[in-house]
Amino acid sequence: MSFSSRPILSMVLSRLGLGLLSLVIVSLVIFSAVALLPGSYASAILGQNATAEAVAAMEEQLGLNDPWFLRFLRWLGAAATGDMGMSFAGRPVMDVIGPRLVNTVVLAAITAAIAVPLSIALGIVCARYRGRFIDKFLSTTTLASISIPEFFVAYIVMMLLAVKLQLFPSMAGIRASMDWGDQLYRMVLPILTLLLVILAHMVRNTRAAILSVMASPYIEMARLKGEPESRVVMRQALPNAIGPIASVVALNLAYLISGVVVIEVVFVYPGIGQAMIDSVRNRDVPVIQACALIFAAAYIGFNLIADVISIVSNPRLLHPR
Amino acid sequence: MDATARPVSTPRLTRFLHLLRSAPLTAQFGMVVTLAYALVALFAPLIAPYGEVEVVSRVPFDGWSAEHLLGTDQLGRDFLSRLIYGARNSISIALITTILSLTLGCLLGMFAALVGGLVDQVLSRIVDALMSVPELIFILMILSILGGSILNLILIIAVLTSTRFYRISRAAALNVASLDFVEAARARGEGSLWIAVNEILPNILPLILSELGMRFCFIFLNIAALSFLGVGIQPPTAEWGSMVRDNAALINMGNVTPLIPAAAIALLAIAVNFVVDWMLNRASGLSEEA
Amino acid sequence: MPDPVIRIDNLHIDARANDAWSAIVRGVSLAVHPGEVLGLVGESGAGKSTIGLAALGYLRPGARVSGGSVHLLGQDLLALPESERRRFRGTQVAYVAQSAQAAFNPVHRLMDQIVAVAVDRGGLTRAEAEERAVTLFTALRLPDPAQFGDRYPHQVSGGQLQRAMVAMALICNPALIVFDEPTTALDVTTQVEVLISIRKVIQDFGVAAIYITHDLAVVAQIAHRVAVLRHGAVVEEAPIARIMDAPQHPYTRSLWAVHELPVDAAGAHDRKGAPLLDIRDLAARYKQFQVLTDISLQVGRGETVALVGESGSGKSTLGRVIVGLKEPAAGTLTYDGQPLAPTVARRPLPTIRRIQIIYQSADTALNPRHSVRRILGRPLTLYHGLRGARREARVQELLRLVEMEPTHADRLPGQLSGGQKQRVAIARALAAEPELIICDEITSALDKVVQAEVLRMLLVLQARLGVSFLFITHDIEVVRAVADRVVVMQAGRIVEQGEKARVFAPPHEPYTETLLASVPEMAVGWLDRIIAGRAA
């Protein structure tokens, strides 16, 4: 199976390669950001004990005198195995952000599990009943919703459900010691907020993807063959829209990553977003780097998935002449 | 292809006014609101009852009263005045950033489209790499290391956003460049710069204007979010995002005052988005009505 | 006379543009009886497609019926609700669209799409429907009928896909098929095959048909009766023989126009002196693909050389190489005795001025944001340094030259008709005062009537200004009307070239033979002769 006979394989592989390249470049930038620090890395770690000899010894120990590309490769290699070095506060970075990462992933996963099927269903409804009230209503409200800053949504949710109605706690301080039910209860508000934020984007995009497929001439042909409208949407339009929709869903999940930061801050949810903000406040550079790397990897990963789905769902590439 | 010719063009101003009046309700609402915000931003010193950083009361977090219509903030400053000055600061910074990124992105985009070849490939790869980073995270990282001055903020956001303008102006220019009248101009012996300005630019302008509106919203929201997180515009400059954070404690007490700057952010973004949505629908020939 | 399959009575349809409704179908009355083919002829914008779709009880968004009725098999379609109308579509009345590529869903196999209606509402089982489909494939002379349905739309050629669409229309044995310009988008040689197939199945299955086209020669081969449509109204309707021999209405008669152009009686130009343009052994590539090979031809002063070929012959590429937009891989270009630099960038402005090009589609060849004045003024300033009042005077002169009004100078291209836009494009080329104009399919996008006018104007201009034309076209009728010499191209090579009379007279090269034979003649029975010729 050579590349020329299967163009789809070569396209997917080259896209994967591009993604990998992007990741390397981005990690290079993240790594080099340290160079912008005023003062030296070693003195920052030592803090109060930063005498000249201690600094020199620390630099030697950390291998800070080696050429930069060597340090970069070492850092990258370590990061790939999960060792992100030591934070300025003295603990291994992975210990600090490990559990936080898990929390954020759980939050994002639950939100995505609800948001994806819901937004696709709503997108289909909008396309099926194009121009009618439900479509106009959803179009206008989603357009308004994407203009609303995440913290606004968060505070309104908090104001209504936590303060006025007192249904849920306004701080989502979960701990590993709590049982699942208790943790879930505290997570309701952040999940709801994240859901509202991302649903608006997703519904707009799935609606647009399906509508653009519905504008294709073979859709009119199906109607001229007498197919009922719901069949036209489900059997003719949807199979063509799967590619664009999946791609759009992946893109929105990538957007989820930055949205999660603000929400974690508002609800004081112990996730990686909160960790990043805390480390930004404390100028704890290794932690900032680690968080940035994780976020960037996830973002690049989702974009990659989106592009690959686009490629694989093209019938011309799936079944070449 | 139409078999009949249409009548001669009416004067530009009349056409423009007719255009405004034919816009859907949402777009008209958007235009009015945007104009109102612009006026507030322009005439802030004349409208605000007190100064931007003036500590006017000994009572922080004071309730709404006759002297202080929206009460006072955490340092005893007049909330309403800070809100009004916040309009000026937030909008002007977002506007400057947007225009900067527009210029940078569009110039490079059209240039890449026209020149093609290696230059185009290299530029596009750099842009792809910049775009593959989550914006907020990247900005957080750089600002935390460099420090959150207004200049840094503007420059970083402008560079990152210029990638969007690059993409869209390059795609639009390539699209237009493939049309016959551009080739006809080349066949005529016209130079690249002349073609870019006279043939391509007038045709991609509507698309760029809508993207301008959308990016302004995003930048505006991003700056608010950054300030909310403490990394954006630093105190004592009045900024809506940081005002929300500073007064967030009031929310737990059931006071909506800190939500007002948040609502102000949302309202402007909604207004601009409504106008942009209308412009896009017109440009693509689609209509929200069936 | 049995009852008509479809009867359209005094149909009025309006379309909405911005906020105003305008009539696009005005009081049309038609009837088609079983086994009969009605040809519907007219220019684009005349309302033919709208009427064709109305026969299925279907209106495009933004259109409404403001009067009249459509009776299909005795039922008043327009009085029924949409859900009832749907029952007829695909089963009793079917539609064959102009572009097969656009009509098939790219993610489903052909067989699935073709049998869908028969299985869902036609009462056939899947096996029965597939069997019927294969029978139709064979009747339509498609390759490998048993396996044809397994393919995807993008895996078959344009002509095959068009026939697949005919199969899809016939699967439920409808009483009426509406053919909407089914061969317009196809090459001449492919068109013949599809026409033969359509003609055959209409006869075999005895189905009634409405055949919509703008090409009279084509309709003469298929239809029993013809209705001529203009601006949404029927101006004449008659049996095919009478329409061909004795058209009554002046508009019908004008549709013959292109055949009445004054063919240059003098024929041979005295080609004194050296040729203006001399091409030797030219070759061109696009990436790895060889687009032109061994091209050698000349164009003399004041003469018209027609470059004929189908799509893929490389004729357009040759035009672009001459004008300097594409660099040749090999060969030489000589203009007026001097070597011609391969790209525009390397040619001096006075040389560029002498060779101009006009494109096929004036819609894309004129900048939609420039007024006519600006479009014409630019070459005047660029080549002749004219400004101000003198330039304005010249702009007005040019407008008169192409038979347009002074008021047109202020308009934007979007406010002009197709023919007017092309005249502006011609005027723009003339503004440079060139010696050689390359016309790249300039009349192909125009309707027959407008085409004839534009060609007539070009001949007049040539007589006045002594300009040479390199006329790139695929239309043999146009070549007959305007050319002095003819160059026939196929797959990037020159097959034959010479004086027009000689090339068009036998003996021909095999490809020229095929090309000339594929052009439908304006005579009834031409297709029958071809079919008979093949059976022999």
Which CATH fold would you assign to the domain C6-259? Rossmann fold (3.40.50)
Is C99–A217 a contact, with Cβ atoms under 8 angstroms apart? yes
Q: What is the pLDDT of residue C18?
A: 67
**CA dist., res. C490 & res. C487, Å (int):** 10
The confidence band for C266, taking pLDDT boundaries of 50, 70 and 90, is very low
Is A296–B134 a contact, with Cβ atoms under 8 angstroms apart? yes
What is the enclosing helix (H) or strand (E) of C497?
Answer: strand C493-499
pTM over 0.80: no
Task: Choose the weakest-confidence range: B222-231, C53-62, C257-266.
Answer: C257-266
Task: Choose the weakest-confidence range: A250-264, B276-290, C419-433.
Answer: B276-290
Helix, strand or coil for residue C73? Answer: coil
Residue C413 in this model has a pLDDT that exceeds 80? yes
- Interface B-C, measured as beta-carbon pairs within 8 A, has a size of 80
| Residue C84 neighbours by CB under 8 Å, 6+ apart | none
DSSP labels, C249-315: SHHHHHTTGGGGS---TT-S----SS-SEEEEEEEEEETTEEEEEEEEEEE-TT-EEEEE--TTSSH
Look at residue B20 and tell me if it is in a domain: no
Q: What is the pLDDT of residue B55?
A: 77
Look at residue B100 and tell me if it is in a domain: yes
**CA dist., res. A172 & res. A103, Å (int):** 11
Is C344–B8 a contact, with Cβ atoms under 8 angstroms apart? no
Q: How far is CA A237 from the centre of its chain?
A: 28
The CATH homologous superfamily to which domain C277-505 belongs is P-loop containing nucleotide triphosphate hydrolases (3.40.50.300)
Q: What average pLDDT does this structure show over B71-99? A: 87
Instruction: Between A89 and C368, name the one with better pLDDT.
Output: C368
* Residues in chain C within 8 Å Cβ distance of B290: 61
Instruction: Between A67 and A19, name the one with better pLDDT.
Output: A19
Query: Mean pLDDT, chain C, as a whole number?
Result: 87
The confidence band for C261, taking pLDDT boundaries of 50, 70 and 90, is low
Give the best residue of A29, A152, A170 to mutate against chain B (max B CB count within 10 A): A152
In this structure, what token pair is assigned to residue A292?
């940035």
* Residues in chain B within 8 Å Cβ distance of C382: 188-190
Peptide bond into B236 cis (omega under 30): yes
State the complex-level ipTM. 0.78
DSSP labels, C12-28: EEEEEETTEEEEEEEEE
Tally helices (H) and strands (E) across chain B: 13, 0
Which is it for the CA torsion C243, C245, C249, C255, positive or negative?
positive
Q: What average pLDDT does this structure show over A116-143? A: 87
Helix, strand or coil for residue C411? Answer: coil
- Of all residues in chain C, the percent with pLDDT exceeding 70 is 96
Look at residue B3 and tell me if it is in a domain: no
Chains that touch C (3 or more CB pairs under 8 A): A, B
* Residues in chain C within 8 Å Cβ distance of B11: none
B132, B265, B277: residue with CB nearest A26: B132
Q: What is the pLDDT of residue A47?
A: 67
- Interface A-B, measured as beta-carbon pairs within 8 A, has a size of 140
List the single residue in B with minimal CA-CA distance to A280. B144
Is C415–B9 a contact, with Cβ atoms under 8 angstroms apart? yes
Q: The domain containing residue B83 runs over which residues? A: 26-50+71-284
Q: What is the pLDDT of residue C42?
A: 84
Name the residue ranges covered by the structural domains of chain C: 6-259, 277-505
* Residues in chain C within 8 Å Cβ distance of A225: 89-90, 94-95, 116-117, 168
Q: What average pLDDT does this structure show over A220-226? A: 91
Q: What is the pLDDT of residue C465?
A: 86
Q: What is the pLDDT of residue C262?
A: 60
Shortest distance between the Cα of B74 and any Cα of chain C, in A, equals 55
Q: What average pLDDT does this structure show over C453-482? A: 87
Shortest distance between the Cα of B22 and any Cα of chain C, in A, equals 10
| Residue C242 neighbours by CB under 8 Å, 6+ apart | none
Q: What is the pLDDT of residue C264?
A: 55
Residue C267 in this model has a pLDDT that exceeds 50? no
Is C89–A222 a contact, with Cβ atoms under 8 angstroms apart? no
Q: What is the pLDDT of residues A148-193, one digit of tens each?
A: 888 898 888 888 888 888 888 778 777 777 787 888 888 888 999 9
Residue B155 in this model has a pLDDT that exceeds 60? yes
Query: Mean pLDDT, chain B, as a whole number?
Result: 82
Residue C315 in this model has a pLDDT that exceeds 50? yes
A150, A261, A299: residue with CB nearest B132: A299
C89 touches chain A (CB under 8 A): yes
Q: What is the pLDDT of residues C143-186, one digit of tens each?
A: 899 999 999 998 888 889 999 999 999 999 999 999 998 888 78
* Residues in chain B within 8 Å Cβ distance of C19: 22
- Of all residues in chain A, the percent with pLDDT exceeding 70 is 90
B186 touches chain C (CB under 8 A): yes
Is A22–B132 a contact, with Cβ atoms under 8 angstroms apart? yes
DSSP labels, C90-137: TTTEEEE-S-HHHHS-TTS-HHHHHHHHHHHTS---HHHHHHHHHHHH
C53, C89, C152: residue with CB nearest A225: C89
Shortest distance between the Cα of A313 and any Cα of chain C, in A, equals 9
Q: What is the pLDDT of residues C496-519, one digit of tens each?
A: 998 888 888 887 888 888 888 887
B73 touches chain C (CB under 8 A): no
- The total of structural domains in chain B comes to 1
* Residues in chain B within 8 Å Cβ distance of A303: 132
**CA dist., res. C195 & res. A277, Å (int):** 72
**CA dist., res. B68 & res. A27, Å (int):** 50
Look at residue B164 and tell me if it is in a domain: yes
Q: What average pLDDT does this structure show over C358-370? A: 88
Q: What is the pLDDT of residue A45?
A: 66
Residue A111 in this model has a pLDDT that exceeds 80? yes
Look at residue B270 and tell me if it is in a domain: yes
CB A4 within 8 A of CB A304: no
Chains that touch B (3 or more CB pairs under 8 A): A, C
Q: What is the CATH number of the domain that holds B35?
A: 1.10.3720.10
| Residue C200 neighbours by CB under 8 Å, 6+ apart | C139, C140, C141, C531
**CA dist., res. A198 & res. C58, Å (int):** 39
HSE toward the beta carbon, residue B63, CA cutoff 13 A: 3
Q: What is the pLDDT of residues C15-61, one digit of tens each?
A: 887 678 888 899 999 999 998 999 998 877 778 889 999 999 999 88
List the single residue in C with minimal CA-CA distance to A318. C107
A132 touches chain C (CB under 8 A): no
Peptide bond into C507 cis (omega under 30): yes
A37, A163, A265: residue with CB nearest B145: A37
The pairing of beta strand C436-440 with beta strand C468-473: parallel
Is A226–C88 a contact, with Cβ atoms under 8 angstroms apart? yes
Residue with tokens 């909330």: B79
Tally helices (H) and strands (E) across chain C: 22, 20
The confidence band for B74, taking pLDDT boundaries of 50, 70 and 90, is confident
In terms of Cβ atoms closer than 10 Å to its own Cβ (0-12, 13-18, 19+), residue B13 is exposed
DSSP labels, C315-377: HHHHHHHHHTSS--SEEEEEETTEEPPSSGGGS-HHHHHHEEEE-S-HHHHS-TTS-HHHHHH
Q: What is the pLDDT of residue B283?
A: 64
C86 touches chain A (CB under 8 A): yes
Q: How many CB atoms lie within 10 A of CB C22?
A: 10
Shortest distance between the Cα of A56 and any Cα of chain B, in A, equals 23
